[in-house]
Structure 1
């Protein structure tokens, strides 16, 4: 995953277009070049005319993600009336304001006390102890999916993304949240629509998801169960100031979508990486105890999330010695940080023995700071279980196409396969 071209993704004004097809095809090379040119680069996002700063160096990315002078909600910038870039993008995709709030008012968009309040409502479901208790069920779901995997083959080829990498995490998170089994295929389709570039599909999916969660809330009020949704309903009904109506729906949307999309593509990207690095694959087969470290390395080397949500500077400051003015927007480019030679020796080399730094990983694939991924422990566990079982059950697993022919979904700041054809 080194630079493959000298293509320039900048426009006439020198801003980097994050939706540039060549940059999306080779983000590792493209963002590495930006990182070595300067600490900051100007960028633009699809659906927005507002310029942003791209932060690509490891130390600077960690600073931005942990410095309270950067906020996710522009209304928290003092003395300024800023419009959210996310709001601008949703408007460009035809999402009406009454539905945009389900995207803009969630835990990912809040700061400070509001963020902690929402995070605490669900954090107990994702503690290390609770995740460890879930492992037998994750293993059971994994084995069931792998039992059925050969039946999905067409001419001996299986789409591992469609029939394994997606079903595993969406089943786990839906069971945890309380989405009935019969409704889960709809969430898979809604997830597809939300990441597509079709504006109409995005708005339709959002409306249908909101209506579905409202219906589920009504059903759970009548017949509560032992799931996270029932717990949120109790918190709301006992203290409306603790959790509002919109916040409850938004939490469910965020947990289900974020709880399966990223993990699915970690499994997809990671499997493709191992199958194209036979030395690493052989070592992992021979030393399965390396699996936790391997998952960390795969998240660093080919993680699906390459750029974070935008942060707004609350005061004039500097990043890497370059000025950022109050109200300006920065985006932390995780792929730039995770491939920064200042932080990682030979960062372009996949090395499953790479040692995490202390108890927590030294990569930033799951973010950093206050907004560190709530479900990181669950995602890592699902990755460990998925890779271990897949390699054990199918010792002859191989790509069904040449590596350069793997088709990817071209999305700004993302690294996602469209499909993963393999032979078992």
Structure 2
């Protein structure tokens, strides 16, 4: 369990009265209310990031979408006046977490943090694995994996109770993304352990796990070169070997690392958050059971109502500009509050109510749970499909599934910017 009090970032909490830090316990424990209060203060509110970087919180739906699609805001902090590498929050975070310098390049150069043209080049290289056709073709395999995991679920029960996270919500997306990328089955449990250590915000855990992940990918690349397949890792190796100017060694390792981590962590918690939401809203659960065609719309609403990602990357103004009339100087950081935007009463009627019919069928996505603009989640279509399959198969296999504890006794992982359960204990019958 993450212990924020022992995190090196906790020392910044409360240092600047009137400028809330995303590490503040109240925001971590109840981001819906906490960030909602900030949203009602204004569309742009002054605050602090985990490392004490001053930021402008972007709080409302229209302004969040505006900033995320505005190319005058970039991921690189180099636009700050007089900026040096020491001013880079990503580098500063890695230093505070004790990550050895020669491994920091694998995080600093992630597709999640890069700007064009490098972001465009790398995204184009991997986007072929996430086309609509590819995702549609993948669905039977996703369904087969879900069926097998659910058939075996009772084997893991203790006193009639099973943890959905450990035995379904994590194994499903990590199996899918590892098969897509080319991570051997035997290595997948280790990846789950590494990823949990990586997001813990505990230096002792990260500085051991991250180098191990990087070296593991290097070894996989060496092995795969001897026997190329039809997975994404093999495609990246071919691209690198055919034209090294398009993809460097570091970029190849970083892409694999990013895709596997991003491809299972958030989806796992969408599944668990969504399952808990359905089981605590019997009217909506019954609606879904009575109308299977509602699943795509339901996934959108669950992503809005209890999505696992609440904050974006920091972005920096590349020129003097303004948002909602608030001046933002060149180099100043902004942070889009997805959770506040997704509950904005200016955009949604009764936003705190879970309503699986809220999003019209076939209409464009009307939430920012997957982000927006050029950094919109690359794997969003795969995550939505896995959510549809997971909820549908769970209810088909176990129509009487229920929580094994009272809703107020569900334990959350106290992680800033994220909404995730530590466990989800269920009774299957």
TM range (shorter): over 0.9
> What whole-Å deviation, never above 9, does each CA across 1:17-42 have from its counterpart, x for those lacking one?
21112211110011111001122222
**C-alpha contact (below 8 Å) 1:236/1:244 kept by paired residues:** yes
The 5 A counterparts of 1:89-168 are: 89-168=93-172
1:44 to partner: Cα distance: 2.1
Residues 1:327 and 2:331 are matched in the alignment: yes
Pick one of 35, 52, 55 that aligns with 2:55. 52
1:293 to partner: Cα distance: 0.0
Residue 6 of structure 1 corresponds to which residue in structure 2?
none
Pick one of 291, 300, 303 that aligns with 2:304. 300
> What whole-Å deviation, never above 9, does each CA across 1:281-301 have from its counterpart, x for those lacking one?
000000010000000000000
- Residue 318 of structure 1 aligns to a residue whose secondary structure is strand
The 5 A counterparts of 1:129-208 are: 129-208=133-212
Structure 2 Cα separation of the partners of residues 156 and 97 of structure 1: 48
Residue 63 of structure 1 corresponds to which residue in structure 2?
66
**C-alpha contact (below 8 Å) 2:297/2:361 kept by paired residues:** no
Pick one of 286, 289, 295 that aligns with 2:293. 289
Residue 4 of structure 1 corresponds to which residue in structure 2?
none
Structure 2 Cα separation of the partners of residues 312 and 182 of structure 1: 41
**C-alpha contact (below 8 Å) 2:79/2:330 kept by paired residues:** no
Pick one of 342, 349, 363 that aligns with 1:345. 349
Q: Any stretches of 5+ residues in structure 2 without a counterpart?
A: 1-12
Structure 2 Cα separation of the partners of residues 316 and 139 of structure 1: 50
The worse-fitting range, judged by mean Cα deviation, of 327-336 and 37-46 is: 37-46
**C-alpha contact (below 8 Å) 2:79/2:331 kept by paired residues:** no
Residue 264 of structure 1 corresponds to which residue in structure 2?
268
Moved over 3 A (4+): 9-12, 76-82, 356-359
Give the count of matched residue pairs.
415
**C-alpha contact (below 8 Å) 1:263/1:383 kept by paired residues:** yes
- Residue 331 of structure 1 aligns to a residue whose secondary structure is strand
Residue 317 of structure 2 corresponds to which residue in structure 1?
313
Pick one of 401, 420, 423 that aligns with 1:416. 420
Structure 2 Cα separation of the partners of residues 228 and 369 of structure 1: 24
Q: Any stretches of 5+ residues in structure 1 without a counterpart?
A: 1-8
1:350 to partner: Cα distance: 0.3
**C-alpha contact (below 8 Å) 2:80/2:332 kept by paired residues:** no
**C-alpha contact (below 8 Å) 2:315/2:334 kept by paired residues:** yes
> What whole-Å deviation, never above 9, does each CA across 1:104-153 have from its counterpart, x for those lacking one?
10111111211110001100100111000000000000000001100101
Structure 2 Cα separation of the partners of residues 183 and 326 of structure 1: 45
TM-score (norm 2): 0.94
Structure 1 Cα separation of the partners of residues 239 and 322 of structure 2: 41
Structure 2 Cα separation of the partners of residues 356 and 376 of structure 1: 18
CA gap 1:139/1:357 in 2 versus in 1, 3 angstroms: closer
Structure 2 Cα separation of the partners of residues 420 and 22 of structure 1: 23
- Residue 109 of structure 1 aligns to a residue whose secondary structure is coil
**C-alpha contact (below 8 Å) 2:269/2:420 kept by paired residues:** yes
Structure 2 Cα separation of the partners of residues 78 and 324 of structure 1: 13
Structure 1 Cα separation of the partners of residues 328 and 361 of structure 2: 30
CA gap 1:77/1:68 in 2 versus in 1, 3 angstroms: farther
1:43 to partner: Cα distance: 2.2
Structure 2 Cα separation of the partners of residues 92 and 357 of structure 1: 46
Structure 1 Cα separation of the partners of residues 246 and 97 of structure 2: 32
CA gap 1:226/1:76 in 2 versus in 1, 3 angstroms: farther
Structure 2 Cα separation of the partners of residues 204 and 10 of structure 1: 30
- Residue 107 of structure 1 aligns to a residue whose secondary structure is coil
1:84 to partner: Cα distance: 1.8
**C-alpha contact (below 8 Å) 2:21/2:52 kept by paired residues:** no
**C-alpha contact (below 8 Å) 1:78/1:314 kept by paired residues:** no
TM-score (norm 1): 0.96
1:14 to partner: Cα distance: 1.2
- Computed over aligned residues only, the root mean square deviation of the Cα atoms, in angstroms, reads 1.4
- Residue 353 of structure 1 aligns to a residue whose secondary structure is coil
**C-alpha contact (below 8 Å) 1:126/1:375 kept by paired residues:** yes
- Residue 53 of structure 1 aligns to a residue whose secondary structure is strand
> What whole-Å deviation, never above 9, does each CA across 1:341-365 have from its counterpart, x for those lacking one?
1111111000000124864211000
